[in-house]
Structure formats: C-alpha cells, structure tokens
A and B are shown apart, each in its own frame.
Chain A
Amino acid sequence: MNALWEFLSMSDANVRFVTIGSVLLAASSAVVGCFTVLRKRALVGDAVAHAVLPGVCLAFILTGEKNPLILLLGSFITGWLSLIVIDAITAHSRIKEDTAIGLVLSVFFGVGILFLTSIQHSGNENQSGLDKFLFGSAAALVGQDLITFGAVAVLLLLSVLLLYKEFKLLSFDTAYARTLGMPVRGLELLLTTLTVLAVVVGIQSVGVVLMSAMLITPAAAARFWTDRLGAMVLIAATMSAFCGAAGAFVSFTAPAMPTGPWIVMLLSLLAILSFTLAPRKGLLARYLLQRRVRRQMTRENILKTLFQLGEGKGEYQHSYSKEQILERRQQPLLRMKDGLQTLCRQGLIQKNASGWALTESGKKEAQRVVRLHRLWELYLTQYLQVASDHVHEDAESIEHVLTPELEKRLEELLDYPTADPHQTSIPQQP
C-alpha cells in the first residue's frame, strides 16, 4: 500500500518521467491503432513493428551512439520501407497481402537480429541497452529520451484530433472520400506515417515484439463497449493509459520486472474482460440472453402441455403429476422442475396434492401460446403452401417469438380464424 502511495504521489522525478512516458506512449498508439484496426491493417502494424529493429541497429552502427532522435529516424525509415515493400510485392506479383506481410516481417526482423548480434560482438561500450528495443524498457525513459518520444506521442494525438473527421471517413469509405475531393492519398500517407511513428515511439516501452499488441488490443477491446468511433477511441486510449501507468508501477515496485510485457499483459487481460463481460456484445451477455430464452421456452411449453392435457375434457384447471406432463411432452426433468417452480412463483400454476394445475392467469397465458402456435400453422398452410403435416415443428419454435403486433397482423391476414389446419379450435383472445 505504501508503495502505491509513494508511486501515486509522483515525488520521485524518475517515477514521474517513466509514468508520464508510458501513459503517453500507450495512449497515442491506442488512438492510432483504432484507425489501423478499422482500416483492417492490423497485421501491417505488426510488420512495421518488427521492421523497426534493423533501422535502430543501423542508425547505431552508422553513428556509434544512442541519440534518441537518430535511432528514431533510423527506425522510421526501415518501418516505412517495409510498408513500401509490402505494397510493391502485392502490386507487382501474384503474392497476396497476407503472405507479403509475413515475408517482410520475418526478413526485416531477421536482418535486425543479425545487426543486433553483430553490434553486441563489436565491443562498442555504448551498445549496452540497445537490446532493450526487443522487449522495451520503460524504466529507461528519462531525460532526453522522454522529451523526444513524448513530443512524438503528443504530435500523434494532435494529428488525430485535428483530422478526426477525415480519418473517420477514410476508414469507412475511401472511395467516397475521394469523390468529395479530399486529399485521400495524402491522408493515407499521413495515417500510415502516424502508425509508423506510433510503433517507433511505442517500442521504447514495450519493444518490437509486443508492439502490435499496443496498437491492436485496445482498439479490439474498446469496440466491444461502444458503437461510436469517438467513444471507441477514448475508451481505447483510457484503457491503454491505465495499463501504461500500471506497467510503470510494476517496474517501480519490482525493478526486475519488465515493464513492456506487463503493459501488454494487463491490456490483454482488459481485452479478455471486454470480450466476456461487455454488455450486449460480450460472451456472458449473449449466454445469459440465450439462457433466458431457453427458460422462457420451457415455461411456455409446460403451460401449453397443461392446457392441452385438459383440452379433451374442456376442463383446463385440473391437476396433473410430473409423469403425466412428461408423458404428453418429453423434456429434461431438471429443466422442467425448474420451470414448474418459477411458474408457481409467478402465480401461473398451483401445486396441490395430485400435482400442478393452471391458475386463471396461467390458463390465459397458455391460451396465448397455443393460439400463436395454431395461428402460425394456419399461416404456413395458407400463405406458404406448406403441407399441414409439416407445419407443427415450425410452429413449435415460432410460437415463442411472435410479438403482439405480429399476432394482430396474422389474425387480420387470416381473417380471425377459429380452427387450425388440423381442425382443432384456436383459443380466442379473452
């Protein structure tokens, strides 16, 4: 707890630097990443991230020092070069884009590792820390580095803020943007440049290997929470910023812990939580909806069965045992028990010594379901020319879905019928 307090107070200048840096880098790459994902260029981001490594190494080999600006320039150049190569391969050969991305990614990364190894064996004392680019090191984000990378991150955020409307249209409908006379080519170049820049500054904290996660994960997770682009960008940026700060905190409490992987792990955790817990779109919400529907179907089926059992004698509120219900309609016993209990609670059926019986309101509800079933059967035979012995199965499921409006419409269409295709009567609305 003390550690958290000390961290939050930001009294240590070093902590301040590292945290501000991580937050800025994470947020800016998340913002740019939203557009990368929406333009379906997520894999390209990954390729660029890997292609940055040879640039870093080459810049170091040529200058012999670790000036952040020069390293940034070097990585920017090879990052861009990889994109040009991908486009060239796709345009001038039979190789498709995904293969081209795979090729470029591995070749550039391989060359980068080659350079890195040769630097490590060169004996240049300055080289220590260069391998940080592989997995990143937010702890190294101090002084000159922070100012350079932070400035780039702010520049990224500003560009997106200024050209938000353009990037939005570009991501949604490029052809239309062109017909409006927007400088689409230039905007695309800019957006790609921003992606490369986001990667270039992001590797400082998470490294080339994990960089694509910083671009893609927040965007993918944020999409689950909203259907608005503006909100998506904000949510992605916030999630990322939070993970950036949390990553910095981890490396503050346990200096041996790698910051980058921690940021990415936290981001992935947030993404998994989004996939499962997000309202409406999340797995859990969809499962719950499915379960609710299934339970409702079971209950309506029980009501219907009780109604049908009494239909022969015209005595609808007679009691029946579980066995009698099961005999009329096969269903899993546990599910039926659960349904019976809920129906009891809802006051639609009553339990007595000889079993369960429909109450007055339960009878009405049962009538409604039976009505819908038979209306639908009639509709199928009359309007869809389905044979009368084929309509039952269909109506079994449709009876649970039909809304009161559709029910009314069906009645009108069928001219307020009284009998279904099997000549059983259709219970009238009370």
Chain B
Amino acid sequence: MIQHVTDPVLEVHDLTVSYQRKPVLWDVDLTLPKQALVGVIGPNGAGKSTLIKAVMGLLPLNSGYVELFGKPLNEVRRKVSYVPQRESVDWDFPASALDVAMMGTYGQLGLFKRPGSREKKLAMEALEKVGMQDFANRQISQLSGGQQQRVFLSRALAQDADLYLMDEPFAGVDIATETAIIELLRQMRDAGKTVVVVHHDLQSAQDYFDWIILLNMRLVASGPTAQTLTPALLEKTYGGRLTELSRVSELLHKQNFPIRETKPTRKK
C-alpha cells in the first residue's frame, strides 16, 4: 500500500542509505501530501531516524534523491525545520532555554549577524507556544526530559517553517506533555503545515496521525492512516526483519562491496 500524491510537500525517490557500508534503508519511494500530520512507524532499527536525517541532508545517499516543495533541500531550507532526538546533544551545555529557542532564528539571520530583540521576541513566542515561557532563563540541564523536548520543539517553531521533521519528540515525555505536544502539532497542521513525526507507540498512532509511513528497512506502506494501520501491513512491518535484506547488508559490509556502482544523479 504505497499511495502517491500529486504536488507533494516531500518526495523521496528511490532512496538507499547506509551506515558504514551497511544499507539501513532500501529503495524507499514515497510522497507526502500538504497539511498532514504524518507518523513514521516501525520497529527499532527500521531506519525511521535515518529516513528523516536523509531528508534533511545529514547523511550521504547511496541512491535516489529527495525533493521538498518540488525543489532540492538547499533551495528551500527556510521552509523546512528539523527536531533532532533529545539525546543527540549534551544538555550540560552552558545555555538557557531561551538561548536554544533563539537558535531557531539563526538560519534567517545569516552569518555574522547577532540575534537582537526581534529574534528574542520570536524565541519567546515559540517558548510560549510550548508552555515553557516561565523556564526561559533556566539552564537547560536543569529541565526535565519533557521540558527539554519542548525546548527543542520551540527552537523548530522559531524557524517558522512549512514542513517539520521531528525525530521521536515523544521519547521520554510524560503523558501530559505528550498530549500538549500533539495538540500543538494539530494546530500546526490546521494552519497548513506538514508535520512528520517518528513515533514508537502503535496505539496512539491511530489517533495522532492522518498519514502513516510504515518502515522496516524498506518501505512497507505510505498512505492515509485508515488504509495503512491494518493488521496485514503491521504484520509485514513488525513480523520480523526480512532476513535476506539483513544478510545482504551484512555481506556488503563485510566484503566491502559498493552499495551502488554509480553515484546518485540528480533528477534533471
């Protein structure tokens, strides 16, 4: 069940990505509609984060390309915002919640320019949206896991993008925060934004998302929630890894084979 849309916000074309010569995503090909709340679902090690990172240009691609709003990433960076996993940074860094939220404005500021009162205002507004305004001056290591996650969200909000890619924003977050975050994401969708969320919990996925991407090293399904969260497709996603894929991965890695014989070419 892979449903394509016309005029997509995000197009992933024949994408293969590997870590240290071990492919973790094989030939993923999907398109996402505008104004949708998209869940990326799959077991551990299925390549969910890898997909998002590849879209954000953080990983080298073995094959394929990614287009956002019909253009390569570099031309539309300001319209795309990324929320990394909370554990990806050292929270002992000497910065306040406001400092981190303000980083969302750095892209528009450009090199050399210092953030001023306008940027501070944007950051404060972003913090308010996630209910963290009272913690603006708190050092980030003194925040709870859920609060840190919200600070990360506010940083992305300060960017004021049209497409948001979030890597496990609900990891280590208490249920009240999760509800607040999903409410915020819904508002963003209703305001015309597209939000892609890597998510772990199947049960809540049903309620949260209107579009689901099922992933397990290859794309199992991509489409409206009702048509993708079916027992058959879930069985295909979670019913064990395709052992052939893992074994070929292993072989490529051990024997130092190239994953593609030619470098990826851009679509003309």
Contact = CB atoms under 8 A, between A and B. Distances in A.
B103 A172 contact: yes
Question: Which A-B residue pairs are the 7 nearest by beta carbons?
Answer: A180-B107, A227-B139, A181-B77, A179-B82, A229-B94, A179-B56, A173-B89
Contact of B103 (A164, A173, A228): A173
Interface of A: 38, 40, 162-166, 168-169, 171-173, 175-183, 223, 226-229, 231-232
Interface in B84-126: 84, 88-90, 93-96, 99-100, 103, 106-107, 109, 111-115
Contact of A179 (B58, B93, B115): B58
A130 to B, nearest CB: 39
A175 B88 contact: yes
B258 interface: no
B57 interface: yes
B107 A228 contact: no
Contacts of B171: none
A182 B103 contact: no
Nearest to B115: A165
B88 A173 contact: yes
A355 to B, nearest CB: 45
A179 B53 CA distance: 9
Interface in B117-141: 139
Contacts of A229: 93-95, 99
6 contacts: A163-B112, A173-B88, A175-B84, A180-B159, A228-B94, A228-B96
Nearest to B92: A223
Given A181-B107, A227-B94, A175 B58 contact: yes
Contacts of B53: 175
Interface string B54-79: 00111000000000000000100110
Nearest to B100: A172
A232 B93 CA distance: 11
A171 B92 CA distance: 12
Interface residues of B, number: 32
A169 B106 contact: yes
A178 B59 CA distance: 11
B68 to A, nearest CB: 12
Given A169-B106, A227-B96, A179 B57 contact: yes
Given A162-B112, A165-B115, A176 B94 contact: no
A208 B81 CA distance: 44
Grouping DSSP codes into helix (H, G, I), strand (E, B) and loop, the A interface class, with mixed when no group exceeds half, is helix
Task: Specify which of A40, A162, A164, A169 lies most central, judged by the most chain B CB atoms within 10 Å of its CB.
Answer: A169
B80 interface: yes
A171 B93 CA distance: 9
Contacts of B112: 162-163
A232 B139 CA distance: 13
B142 to A, nearest CB: 8
Given A175-B58, A179-B58, A180-B106, A164 B114 contact: yes
A223 B114 contact: no
A164 B106 CA distance: 11
Contact of A166 (B57, B96, B111): B111
Given A164-B114, A165-B115, A180-B106, A172 B58 contact: no
Nearest to B109: A165
B152 to A, nearest CB: 9
Contacts of A228: 94-96, 99
B106 A178 contact: no
Contacts of A181: 74, 77-78, 107
Contact of A178 (B57, B99, B100): B57
A176 B103 contact: yes
Contacts of B84: 173, 175-176
Task: Specify which of B53, B77, B115 lies most central, judged by the most chain A CB atoms within 10 Å of its CB.
Answer: B77
Contacts of B89: 172-173
A295 to B, nearest CB: 26
B198 to A, nearest CB: 14
B103 A169 contact: yes
B77 A180 contact: yes
Nearest to A179: B82
Given A163-B111, A176-B103, 15 more contacts: A38-B93, A166-B106, A169-B103, A172-B103, A173-B103, A176-B82, A179-B80, A179-B82, A181-B74, A181-B78, A227-B94, A227-B95, A227-B96, A228-B94, A229-B95
Given A226-B94, A228-B95, A182 B114 contact: no
Nearest to A173: B89
Contacts of B113: 165
B157 to A, nearest CB: 14
A206 B168 CA distance: 48
Nearest to A232: B94
Contacts of B82: 175-176, 179
B262 to A, nearest CB: 23
Contacts of B115: 165
Contacts of A182: 106-107, 111
A175 B58 CA distance: 7
Contacts of A183: 111
Contacts of A164: 114
A316 B106 CA distance: 66
B15 to A, nearest CB: 17
A179 B77 contact: yes
A181 B103 CA distance: 13
A180 B111 CA distance: 11
Nearest to B104: A180
Contacts of A180: 77, 106-107, 159
Contacts of A232: 94
A175 B74 CA distance: 15
A227 B112 CA distance: 23
